[in-house]
Amino acid sequence: MQEIRQLTVLGRYGYDSIPTITQFAAEAAKAALLDQDAVFHCQMAVDEACTNIIEHAYGEKNVGNIEITCFVEPGSCTFQIIDHGKPFDPDKVPVPKIGASLQDIRPGGIGLHLMRHLMDDVQFEFAQGGNKLTMKKSSAPQATPPQSIQIQQMPQDIWLIQPYDRLDATTAPELENTLIDLLQQGRFWILVDMAQVSYISSRGLKALASAWRQADNNNGALALCNINPQVLSVFETVGFTQIFTIHPSQNAALSAMSEQKISKK
């Protein structure tokens, strides 16, 4: 099933928007289950394309938006990039002269050369209102993450929950319902292993906070472990690192929670 992702970058941010663009490309490529090399190639190609737009189509004036649409399928990721700047004809860009000597290297066309080399297909379309670039990358799909939240009873009657991929408005309700079911059963000692979570939104944070509060009100605890740096930065931004106990590993968390549970008896 195809998923469509979109990102519009405001022209006033110019080159400052490149990190956001490359992150968007990486997340889309990972969602397509591309291998690590293919993910890197997508990032580079989209980076080069948007840098060229800022530099040439908009003349480095920090004006004009860049519209990026990504079509994601298992094993395939297609980027469509639209700008409304000066027309661009790739046929007029000379092939870069890259030789053994640094003196033979010419900067012109290196970005275009990289895009064509890194991606499987690169197509340009031109209209009076702007330019459209379409780039596609494919690879054998990587192993698909589990499609349901994993639940496991651990020693000391601690319940291990392992969500996966994204915790956003569409996926967080499954985690919320899982936590509610455990709490209604009187399972107030819960460890959420975030090792496979690559993204969290306010909806995911709300599900965790609500369960933490109920566990705490019932003399239990809800702790987290294995949070990747990007997700952890979200917790830090909203101050949740002051609320949740966060452990670096599952073993460390289980050990600490076992001691905490014994001390409360």
Specify whether 177 is located in the same domain as 113: no
pLDDT of residue 43: 94
Asked if 180 and 211 count as a contact pair (C-beta separation under 8 A), the reply is yes
Q: How much of the chain exceeds pLDDT 90, in percent?
A: 63
Contacts of 239 (CB under 8 A, 6+ apart): none
Phi, psi at 58, each rounded to 5°: -110, 5
Give the model confidence (pLDDT) of 219-229 as tens digits.
999 999 999 99
Give the model confidence (pLDDT) of 118-143 as tens digits.
999 999 998 777 899 999 999 877 66
Domains identified in the chain, total number? 2
The CA-atom distances, in angstroms, between 159 and each of 6, 63, 238, 259 are 38, 53, 26, 15
Q: End of a domain among 138, 170, 204? A: 138
Which domain range does residue 33 map to? Answer: 3-138
Specify whether 128 is located in the same domain as 99: yes
Q: End of a domain among 138, 173, 207? A: 138
Range name among 104-108, 115-119, 196-200, 227-231 with the lowest pLDDT average: 104-108
Average pLDDT, the chain: 88
Q: End of a domain among 109, 138, 167? A: 138
Asked if 115 and 122 count as a contact pair (C-beta separation under 8 A), the reply is yes
Tokens of 156: 């000391």
Instruction: State if pTM tops 0.75.
Output: no
